[in-house]
């Protein structure tokens, strides 16, 4: 856990410097630190082993050996094109990790710098809540979300063609990105606190009634789609269902409701980025409550929702943040929340794939090291056993 808290201390120090100096360079330094940490990870986190196998078994463009194209993973066409492009260029799998990790953090940094008066405090918040389950755990989804960030920037500036192109690329990388279109349409709807509270109440009521709504929807879609990519995806996601409503899920719903209340309390202008943040908060409340047994849904959605909420709060409370005291208080609150979230994740059994953090640059000096592959395989076996138990129930 040592290096994670070293990075946390660096982000906190740079955030304090940024808040005290009112200079942007400490915020950009935070972006660089997280980009390098995500891009240079070595056998750390989830997903990398499965994507490594897919990368090594995917042929470059023009390959004639049909047996080389047998892969162990079904991916969307955008990710397949990226994989084949890197293979054609002769790049290794570590290049894919760097592209997905560093690019996703760069896109987040660009979104934050575009709309928030403080960059460091947003990234500090992001680091504790989303860095481990995001760039260090979901390569394809995180890369897709990066293009959603770019689409939001262009939609704010009314550059419709570019925004559409970014959204199409996001969808080509991960099917789940289709739900982010509802956020991108933030200009068309602005949910209220009362609507969000009602959605949470009825959502939890539906979840506690004993009906796993997503499994029913997944079965319906799978039967309608028949065999194929969509049906396979729905069956995989439905196999993850079965958990009860957790205290964490309920606490996060309360946070999103609190965020909507803070925005309405301020009576902010009808800015697109604020509306997009409100739309994302409302949608994640629905996912948390209605589909509470399926964390794979709202975990992915948080990759967009949480940064937008932090950016929106910094933006609408810009006047208050003009005083040094308020800036330090906001940084302190973000640091406390981030530290608690980071500690919670690292103390979880699943943190075995994150600790210790390993870096590819070290292998250039001392060669391959660590037991990242063994730790990943162990956690995957544990998860598969839990999923089988849930399906039996």
For every residue of 150-219, which 3-state class applies, written as one string? HHHHHHHCCCHHHHHHHHHHHHHHCHHHHHHHHHHCHHHCCCCHHHHHHHHHHHHHHHHCCCCHHHHHHH
* 3-class secondary structure, 59: coil
The DSSP line for 261-313 is HHHHHHT----HHHHHHHHHHHHHHHHHHHTTT-HHHHHHHHHHHHHHHHHHH
Domain range annotation of the chain: 2-392
- The pLDDT value given to residue 242: 47
Distances (CA, A) of 23 to 72, 113, 124, 213, 328: 48, 12, 16, 49, 14
In angstroms, the CA 290 to CA 341 distance is: 23
For residue 1, the tally of other CB atoms under 10 A from its CB is: 14
- The pLDDT value given to residue 150: 96
Q: Against a cut of 0.95, is the pTM above it?
A: no
In angstroms, the CA 1 to CA 344 distance is: 12
In the chain (393 residues long), the average pLDDT of successive 10-residue segments reads 93 92 90 96 90 88 62 80 93 94 97 94 95 91 94 93 94 89 78 88 71 60 57 56 63 91 79 90 86 70 92 88 85 93 88 91 88 86 61 46
């Amino acid at each position: 856990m040592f290096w994670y808290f070293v990075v946390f201390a660096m982000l906190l120090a740079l955030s304090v410097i940024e808040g005290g100096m009112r200079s942007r360079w400490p915020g950009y330094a935070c972006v660089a630190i997280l980009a390098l940490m995500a891009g240079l990870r070595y056998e750390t986190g989830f997903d990398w082993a499965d994507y490594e196998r897919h990368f090594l078994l995917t042929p470059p463009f023009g390959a004639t050996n049909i047996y080389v194209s047998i892969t162990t993973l079904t991916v969307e066409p955008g990710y397949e094109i990226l994989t084949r492009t890197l293979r054609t260029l002769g790049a290794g799998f570590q290049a894919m990790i760097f592209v997905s990790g560093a690019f996703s953090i760069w896109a987040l940094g660009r979104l934050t710098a575009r709309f928030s008066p403080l960059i460091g405090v947003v990234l500090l918040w992001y680091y504790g809540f989303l860095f481990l389950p995001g760039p260090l755990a979901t390569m394809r989804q995180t890369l897709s979300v990066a293009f959603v960030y770019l689409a939001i920037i262009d939609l704010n500036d009314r550059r419709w063609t570019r925004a559409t192109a970014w959204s199409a690329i996001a969808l080509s990388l991960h099917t789940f990105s289709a739900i982010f279109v509802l956020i991108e349409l933030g200009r068309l709807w602005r949910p209220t606190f009362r609507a969000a509270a009602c959605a949470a109440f009825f959502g939890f009521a539906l979840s506690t009634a004993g009906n796993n709504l997503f499994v029913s929807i997944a079965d319906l879609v799978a039967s309608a789609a028949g065999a194929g990519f969509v049906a396979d995806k729905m069956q995989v996601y439905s196999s993850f269902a079965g958990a009860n409503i957790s205290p964490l899920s309920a606490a996060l719903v309360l946070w999103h409701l609190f965020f909507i209340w803070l925005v309405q309390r301020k009576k902010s202008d009808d800015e697109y980025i604020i509306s997009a943040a409100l739309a994302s908060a409302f949608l994640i409340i629905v996912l948390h409550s209605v589909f509470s047994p399926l964390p794979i849904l709202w975990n992915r959605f948080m990759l967009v929702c949480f940064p937008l909420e932090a950016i929106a709060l910094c933006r609408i409370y810009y006047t208050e943040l003009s005083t040094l005291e308020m800036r330090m208080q906001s940084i302190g609150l973000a640091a406390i929340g981030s530290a608690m979230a980071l500690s919670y994740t690292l103390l979880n059994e699943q943190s075995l794939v994150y600790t210790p953090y390993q870096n590819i640059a070290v292998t250039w000096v001392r060669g391959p090291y660590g037991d990242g592959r063994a730790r990943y395989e162990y956690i995957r076996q544990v998860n598969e056993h839990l999923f089988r138990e849930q399906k039996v129930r």
